[in-house]
Structure 1
Amino acid sequence: MHFVAEPEQPFAVRPRRDEDIAEAAAALVAVHEADGYPVEGVDDPEAWLKSPELTHAWVAVMAGRVVGHAGVGESRGDEAAAVWFERSGEDDSQVVVAARLFVTPEARGTGLGERLTKTVMDHARRHGVRLVFEVMTKDAAAIHLYEKLGCQEIGRITHRYGEGRQTNAVCYVWPAPGHA
């Protein structure tokens, strides 16, 4: 699938390229400074974005600059996936994990968060798999968006990171059971 900016929307969502990493990392640092997302990964944002856990990634580009990012990865070892597997009985082959989804503060309100999320959802749909992920409870705007797009809460966890740090998170699945 090829993404092109529409005339009324001065942005595009497209597959991430290697040359996007530095700009995406700078965007990630800006997001972290604005609202604390992500809770980990900003010490080496390029490595966090290039994680071998990610199998596919996309960027949002506005006015020639990377202002957003989204990815999917394998479900092995993911906490939200574990919640879903316990609840559903599905296995790794039926699930991917949405990850590293963010939009810079100056690009918010443009629909990019929704567009990136739908890109990840389209990927899952095309591959016939379910999408799972976790969202920190502090990220109310993201929670609102995911629920608006039909994601279903499947549980709550304590996300542990760094040296003994933790925060509460909500786990989601899409499509919701019965809507696959």
Structure 2
Amino acid sequence: MSDVEIRPPRPEDYAAAGEVTVQAYEVDGHLADDVGYDAELREVARRVELAEVLVAVDEAGDVLGTVTVVQPGSPYAEISRPGELEFRMLAVAPSARGRGIGEALTRAVLDRARALGVRKVVLSSLAGMRSAHRLYERLGFARLPERDWRPYPHISLIAYQIDV
């Protein structure tokens, strides 16, 4: 992974980071057509204002992946509580999969939590995101079923947590 850098996005990365996120969700069939989530996924500039965004870029500066890091009580928080850090919208470009980018971004979130002195990291994931669930479980995340929820009647999100 020496050819990949994890860093905050620059304004010139915003559009690419948004497109990578939408593509990642679309290719796996995780975008519900009727809720407009693709527009939210593209709004990297807004996420940068209200949360912390990280991107994985290659040596040419191309965005290969991204993740949004969220504080409890902030506009993008879904399930985090005081003393926890949450992440959302983890995405890897379909063309960059299998290179460890999702793991590197997740580990960067864990490092960020440690730097902030936070005890736990939590996340919500679509029930069908099986490859993401395998990654989280391999890294030591455990299911947190009491925080599973539905943002819409036809969309189920399952929760995970890890102690850091």
Whole-angstrom CA distance in 1 between matches of 2:16 and 2:23: 11
Task: Tell me the residue number matched to 2:156.
Answer: 168
- Structure whose alpha-carbon radius of gyration is higher: 1
Task: Tell me the residue number matched to 2:26.
Answer: 33
Q: How many pairs align?
A: 156
Task: Report the Cα offset of residue 172 of structure 1.
Answer: 1.1
Q: CA RMSD in A?
A: 2.3
Q: What amino acid is the match of 1:158?
A: W
Q: Is 1:13 matched up with 2:1? A: no
Q: TM-score, normalised by structure 1?
A: 0.76
Task: Tell me the residue number matched to 2:150.
Answer: 159
Q: What amino acid is the match of 1:138?
A: G
Task: Report the Cα offset of residue 140 of structure 1.
Answer: 0.4
Task: Tell me the residue number matched to 1:109.
Answer: 98
Q: What amino acid is the match of 2:160?
A: Y
Q: Where does structure 1 lack aligned partners over 5 or more consecutive residues?
A: 82-90
Q: Where does structure 2 lack aligned partners over 5 or more consecutive residues?
A: none
67, 70, 74: which one pairs with 2:67?
70
Whole-angstrom CA distance in 1 between matches of 2:151 and 2:102: 25
Aligned residues with identical type, % of pairs: 31
Matches within 5 A, 1:28-107: 28-37=21-30, 39=32, 41-47=37-43, 50-51=46-47, 54-62=50-58, 63-76=60-73, 78-81=77-80, 91-92=81-82, 94-107=83-96
Q: What amino acid is the match of 1:141?
A: S
